Amino acid sequence: MSAETHHTSLNGLGNEVLEHTGVKINHCYQCGKCSAGCPLSEEMEYPPSFVMRMLQTENPVLEEKVLRSFTIWVCLTCEMCYSRCPMSIDIPKMMDFLREKSLTEGKTNPRAKKIIAFHKSFLDSIKYTGRLYEIGLLVDYKARTFKLLQDMVLAPKMLARGKLNIFPEIIKGRSAVASIFNKSAKRNT
Amino acid sequence: MILGLYPGCSLKGSSREYTESVLAVSEACGIELIEIEDWNCCGATAAHNLNKELSVALPARILSLAEKQGMKEIVVPCAACYSRLTVTKNELANHPELRETVTKENNLDYKGTVEVLNIIQMIDKYVTPDLGGRIVKPFDHKVACYYGCLLVRPYEILKFDREEDPMSMDEMMLKAGAIPIDWAFKTECCGAGLSVSRTGSVGRLSGLIMKDAADRGAEAIIVACPMCHSNLDMRRGAINSYLDEKIDIPVLYATQVIGLALGLDRKQLGLQRHFVAVNI
């Protein structure tokens, strides 16, 4: 019997993941290699294999916990879990989907505020100039998080080493890039 | 030999010494690198964390520009950009409906004809064949080759080197006269995009990497990714405070090592820009 027919399909969030990403959560047999290899496991409330199991239960309460978890935001998408999974389940792809859904539905974990602020500052920077402007990114991030003093020691050292551009690089096609943002950002970012 | 170049944002700012060394080595070996005109940011981790379509559309514009500018092969020295561009090529090839949406909505001509090379592939293909005769100052030091995540994972898409114990950079370092050591953290994550938002996590993850390299006698850590470099070099303060000891092993880009072995000027390779002094 092939793996394709051996498992029944999931309902609920697990099925949504399958429909949007092709990732088959029901193929997970809880060997735990993903959680063992994950460099951030110890900072997560639910390591990757726990997330898989929670979604396998089809229990809406557990699904909600996943969407509101810190886990999905602290995941670095380092791809270690995927490379070690004996069933080749693309867990990082699932995480991307869960993050986007969590953001869209306003369910982001409060502890992930700084991580999300950084992503948003990063995208805002490239939306307006086409390329990342590192000083702009840091200023925007500080404004979002009120971490005004963070990395203040680093910045002058970076400047002295020629590692920071004072002015942004603005590309000719910045309106094309802004349009890419507007088209794909129907819902969030 | 003329190749396209996608530098990416880091290589224009905080990791400009990577660009300097890539250009210096290429020039010394008769390779002309032409920057893709009007390139944009690939979207990096931020885009694929928050918006799938955006994370494909931004690299699609880059690949489409390269095609339009007549490029057959592009070198992407940043491992993260290399990953985003390669993943995008793969997504667009395997999902016609996504390709249709992304190209139509954004008026992109996209055929998928451009080959994307990471820095190791570029050097293996165009530099190494003639390298032997050009080495004037073998880099005679014990080195820990640190591949990180995105250069080798996921194999299903990148099809580049082994995921657990890659050897391509080790072999390259051997050719430059270095002695690559066997160690356990070749492909462990440095903390990547959490550098600013969770510096403590980066201190821990990069600390474990530094510690293993130090314990096994590495004199330098060799990288091929600006994020790995900035976490291991610029964040050395966070690393040392996590380890509660002072480790002063320098972190060099693979291209800086090749440049040194070719006898190029240290300044031309940007070695003075590092936070942890390169005294070897």
Domain A3-108, second-level architecture: Orthogonal Bundle (1.10)
Q: Report the 10 Å Cβ neighbour count for B113.
A: 11
CB distance B169 to B145 below 8 Å: yes
What is the per-residue pLDDT for A189?
46
Residue contact B153–A185, C-beta within 8 A: no
What interface predicted TM-score (ipTM) does this complex get?
0.93
Q: List the one residue out of B233, B238, B264, B261 whose CA is nearest residue B249.
A: B233
Q: Is residue B275 part of a domain?
A: no
Q: Give me the CATH number covering residue B6.
A: 1.20.1050.140
Judged by CB atoms closer than 8 Å, whether chains meet at B50 and A189 is answered as yes
Q: Is the peptide bond before B154 cis (omega within 30 degrees of 0)?
A: yes
| Among the partner residues B38, B41, B199, nearest to A172 by beta-carbon distance | B38
pLDDT at A5 > cutoff 60: no
Question: What residue ranges do the domains of chain A occupy?
Answer: 3-108, 111-184
Contact A32, A23 (CB under 8 A): no
Interface of B with A in 179-208 (CB under 8 A): 187-189, 191-194, 196-199, 201, 205
Count of domains for chain B: 2
The amino acid occupying position A113 is K
pLDDT band at A155 (very low <50, low <70, confident <90, very high): confident
Model confidence at A153, in pLDDT bands (50, 70, 90)? confident
B77 and B166 fall within a common domain: no
Residue B76's domain comprises: 2-119
Distant-in-sequence, close-in-space partners of A167: CB < 8 Å, separation ≥ 6:
none
Closest approach of B38 to chain A, Cα-based (Å) = 6
**pLDDT of the residue at A48:** 98
Q: What is the pLDDT of residue A147?
A: 81
Q: Which residues pair with B145 in a beta bridge?
A: B222
B145 and B104 in a common domain = no
> Residue A131 and residue B155: Cβ atoms within 8 Å?
no
Shared-domain flag, residues B158 and B253: yes
* Confidence band of A8 (pLDDT split at 50, 70, 90): low
**pLDDT below 70 — which residues of chain B?**
none
3-class DSSP state of A139 = helix
Q: Judge whether B34 and B4 are in contact, CB under 8 Å.
A: yes
Contact B37, A156 (CB under 8 A): no
Task: Flag if A80 and B189 touch (Cβ within 8 Å).
Answer: yes
Query: Is the same domain home to B141 and B115?
Result: no
Of B52, B61, B149, which has the smallest distance from its Cβ to A180's Cβ?
B61
pTM, to two decimals: 0.94
Mutation target among A132, A141, A164 for the B interface, most CBs of B within 10 A: A132
Q: Do B153 and A120 touch (CB under 8 A)?
A: no
Q: Are residue B70 and residue B189 in the same domain, yes or no?
A: no
Tell me how far apart the alpha carbons of residues B77 and A126 are, in angstroms, rounded to a whole number: 20
- Shortest CB distance from B189 goes to which of A43, A76, A180? A76
| pLDDT computed for residue A7 by the predictor | 58
Condensed to tens digits (0 to 9), the pLDDT of residues A47-97 reads 999 999 999 999 999 999 999 999 999 999 999 999 999 999 999 999 999
Among B43, B154, B234, beta carbon nearest to A79: B154
For position B247, which CATH number holds? 3.40.50.11810
Is the CB of B16 inside 8 Å of chain A's CB atoms? yes
Q: Do A132 and B41 touch (CB under 8 A)?
A: yes
Cα–Cα nearest to B180, from B208, B137, B132, B140: B140
CA torsion, ordered B241, B245, B250, B254, to nearest 10 deg: -70
CA dist B213 and B220 (Å) reads 8
- The predicted pLDDT at position A10 comes to 86
Element at B25 (helix H, strand E): helix B16-28
Q: Is residue B177 domain-shared with residue B254, that is, in the same domain?
A: yes
Q: For chain B, give me the number of helices (H) and strands (E)?
A: 13, 8
Residues B191, B106 within the same domain? no
Judge: A83–B41 Cβ closer than 8 Å, yes or no. Answer: no
Q: How confident is the model at residue A186 (pLDDT cuts 50, 70, 90)?
A: low
B98 touches chain A (CB under 8 A): no
Residue-level pLDDT at A184: 86
In a domain, B21, yes or no: yes
Q: Which of these three, B119, B150, B175, is where a domain ends?
A: B119
State whether B60 and B154 are in the same domain: no
